[in-house]
């Protein structure tokens, strides 16, 4: 897919967490606007940043070249006011876009965080490119709490192809998660949104995660399923004969199943008002 990319100077990089984002996190941080992974279920498609744009989601990307500098200025101000800083990176893009390999925006932010750490950083991605930055994350972990959360919505590649064909494959995400965990960095598998998986899915996550996060298209879209409905998700499930997986209580069933493999303290389930990604 052709992507229209441009470099931009953003006024701010930390966005105060509001509403459904405001669950333990004080800020979200998006090093890019737009997202090359273009997942079909992505709730950002239904947000003003995309709804008022003429170019389709997945076909544009703004590279925030001054992100690290903004971060430094903003955190210094927050610290002067003694404010806690718990960051979710990222809520409306993936911090490890393919262009990150060259642009190094996220890497520069991490380097800056080592100098001026937040209290907590959760890195949310579905890209194995994050392993490039293991060196910096290890150093950051000495300064603040860090969690690397890898989105792994399913263990079935053919299902991933239906919903997120431009996103990295599942096997390489699992491999990256293992590498990060082996490096001593706390990890989470974010089954978000839950997509149909094989009975062996929990076994594949064993030993490579500290937590499992379970979220669904009905809860995690920030509008209790309305955005997912507007994106036509029920129809996509139906077309592929997967409707039994599109039910409002699917998180309850998935949690129950994962409990056979993981103790309760390792499983986190998105509830109403919980953080969506
Ligand atoms: S990776 Fe995240 S932000 Fe990007 S399209 Fe997929 S769900 Fe949306």
Cα–ligand 1 centroid distance for 194 (angstroms) = 14
Tell me how far the alpha carbon of residue 74 lies from the centroid of ligand 1, in angstroms: 25
CB 80 within 8 A of CB 261: no
Ligand 1 cavity residues, CB under 6 Å: 35, 37-39, 42, 44, 93-94, 126
- Measured on CA atoms in the order 217, 219, 225, 227, is the torsion positive or negative? negative
Give the pLDDT confidence score for residue 274 in this predicted structure: 43
- Among 21, 34, 42, say which to mutate for ligand 1: greatest number of ligand atoms within 8 Å of CB: 42
* Confidence check: pLDDT of 218 > 60: yes
Distance separating alpha carbons of residues 1 and 165, to the nearest angstrom: 11
- Ligand 1 centroid distance, CA of 35 (Å): 6
Confidence at residue 20, expressed as pLDDT on a 0 to 100 scale? 61
> Distance, CA 81 to ligand 1 centroid (Å)?
33
- Average pLDDT over every residue of 106-129: 98
d(CA 117, CA 104): 18
Would you call 275 exposed, middle or buried from its count of C-beta atoms within 10 A (0-12, 13-18, 19+)? buried
Q: Whose CA is nearest to atom 6 of ligand 1?
A: 39
Q: How far is CA 8 from CA 13, 62, 67, 92, 180, in A?
A: 12, 6, 10, 16, 31
Q: Using 50, 70 and 90 to split pLDDT, how confident is the model at 276?
A: very low
Q: Yes or no: is domain 4-269 CATH 2.30.30?
A: no
pLDDT tens, position by position, 4-47? 999 999 999 999 997 666 678 999 999 999 999 999 999 999 99
Q: Given the CA of residue 164, which atom of ligand 1 is nearest to it?
A: 6
Report the mean per-residue pLDDT for the chain: 94
d(CA 202, CA 252): 15
The predicted pLDDT at position 277 comes to 40
Confidence of residue 112 (pLDDT cuts 50, 70, 90): very high
Q: Which residues pair with 106 in a beta bridge?
A: none
């Amino acid at each position: 897919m052709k992507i229209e990319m441009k470099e931009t100077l953003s006024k701010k990089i930390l966005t105060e967490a509001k509403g459904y984002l405001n669950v333990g996190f004080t800020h979200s941080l998006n090093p890019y606007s737009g997202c090359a992974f273009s997942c079909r279920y992505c709730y950002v498609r239904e947000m003003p940043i995309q709804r008022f744009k003429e170019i389709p989601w997945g076909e544009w990307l703004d590279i925030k070249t001054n992100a690290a500098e903004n971060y430094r200025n903003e955190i210094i101000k927050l610290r002067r006011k003694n404010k806690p800083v718990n960051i979710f990176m990222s809520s409306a893009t993936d911090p490890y876009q393919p262009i990150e390999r060259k642009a190094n925006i996220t890497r520069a932010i991490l380097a800056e965080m080592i100098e001026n750490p937040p209290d907590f950083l959760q890195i949310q991605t579905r890209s194995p490119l994050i392993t490039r930055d293991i060196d910096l994350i290890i150093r950051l972990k000495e300064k603040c709490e860090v969690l690397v959360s890898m989105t792994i919505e399913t263990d079935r590649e053919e299902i991933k192809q239906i919903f997120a064909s431009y996103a990295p494959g599942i096997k390489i995400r699992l491999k990256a998660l293992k590498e990060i965990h082996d490096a001593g960095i706390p990890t989470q598998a974010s089954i978000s949104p839950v997509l149909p998986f094989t009975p062996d899915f929990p076994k594949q996550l064993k030993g490579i995660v500290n937590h499992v996060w379970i979220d669904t298209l009905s809860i995690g879209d920030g509008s209790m399923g309305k955005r997912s409905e507007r994106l036509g998700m029920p129809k996509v499930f139906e077309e592929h004969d997967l409707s039994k997986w599109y039910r409002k209580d699917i998180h309850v069933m998935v949690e129950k199943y994962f409990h056979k493999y993981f103790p309760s303290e390792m499983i986190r389930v998105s509830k109403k008002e919980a953080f969506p990604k």
